[in-house]
Amino acid sequence: MSERIPALKKETAPPRSKRGKMLIRLLIALAAILLVVLFFRSPLSKIDEIQVTGNEFVGREEIEAALGVVPGDSFFFPGIGKLKQRAEELEPIESVLIIKNFPGVLRVEVKEYPQVAVRLSSDGGMSAILSNGLVLPMPEGKLPDKPILSGWSADDANLAELCRALSDLPGYLLSDLSEIQPDPSVSYPKRIKLFTRSRFEVTTSIDLLKDKIAYLSDIVQNREPGKITMLDVDYYSPYSTEIVTE
């Protein structure tokens, strides 16, 4: 007895319209890849100009070397975070803002540690001291509008703390200071003497200076020149009350 074998189902090919859509999608994907490749090979994807602003104590060339990029390098790589990290490794720089303006402009806005003092060398040369204690050559043409540190040794452990304290002073008060000398005693190992351009002589301690700023500012702005003591007890004595003996 013979059995009828069922006929095999024919595999149906995708409709022409579906195959056409798949082909179009493939062509679009290939075109997109081609455009991306061409874009990254074009001048539009390269750095055309590097703008550096805000730097005074660190040179433009040094900043660009730290960034590790030059005109002609990729505009997109390294990323902003990596460039910022590289620039902030430079000691005079406190922070950096990196901005990429398409096409081709890389902006580097630098914020350096502020200058708080000036140091004179034995040959009369001047160096700038920043708030982080870093000592750098004074930029050419810059006038010394910050206090001169005299009598300090380069390895004095109190020097860095003094620089941090000076950075907390109001700008007008810092610019009024003309000279700062170490004046340690047994009771006050961090005692200093400050001399102002407005003719005040101030005795205080580095670790007390931050808490005494308001008192010092009030006297300098509102009293006649004299001597100020700002230690555990504060005193003010105008020069006009001093008794002159012959």
pLDDT of residue 1 exceeding 80, the answer is no
pLDDT of residue 245 exceeding 70, the answer is no
Q: Say how many CA atoms lie within 13 Å of 138 toward its Cβ.
A: 19
Q: Say how many CA atoms lie within 13 Å of 52 toward its Cβ.
A: 20
Q: What percent of the chain has pLDDT over 90?
A: 54
pLDDT of residue 14: 58
pLDDT, tens digit (0-9, with 9 covering 90-100), for 133-150: 999 998 887 777 899 998
* Angle (deg, nearest 10), helices 60-67 and 80-87: 130
- The whole-angstrom separation of Cα 239 and Cα 246 is 17
pLDDT, tens digit (0-9, with 9 covering 90-100), for 60-96: 999 999 999 999 898 888 999 999 999 999 999 999 9
β-partners of residue 130 are 115
Using the 8-state DSSP alphabet, how is residue 44 labeled? G
Q: Which two tokens stand for residue 165?
A: 């304290």
pLDDT, tens digit (0-9, with 9 covering 90-100), for 6-55: 555 555 555 666 677 777 777 777 767 766 665 566 667 789 999 999 99
- 214 — pLDDT class (breaks 50, 70, 90): confident
Are 105 and 51 spatial neighbours (Cβ–Cβ below 8 Å)? yes
CA-based nearest residue to 53, from 45, 65, 63: 63
- The whole-angstrom separation of Cα 177 and Cα 200 is 9
Set out the domains of the chain in order of their start, with CATH numbers.
Answer: 43-112 (3.10.20.310), 115-241 (3.40.50.10960)
pLDDT, tens digit (0-9, with 9 covering 90-100), for 154-198: 788 899 999 999 998 888 889 899 999 999 999 999 999 999 999
- pTM of the entire structure? 0.77
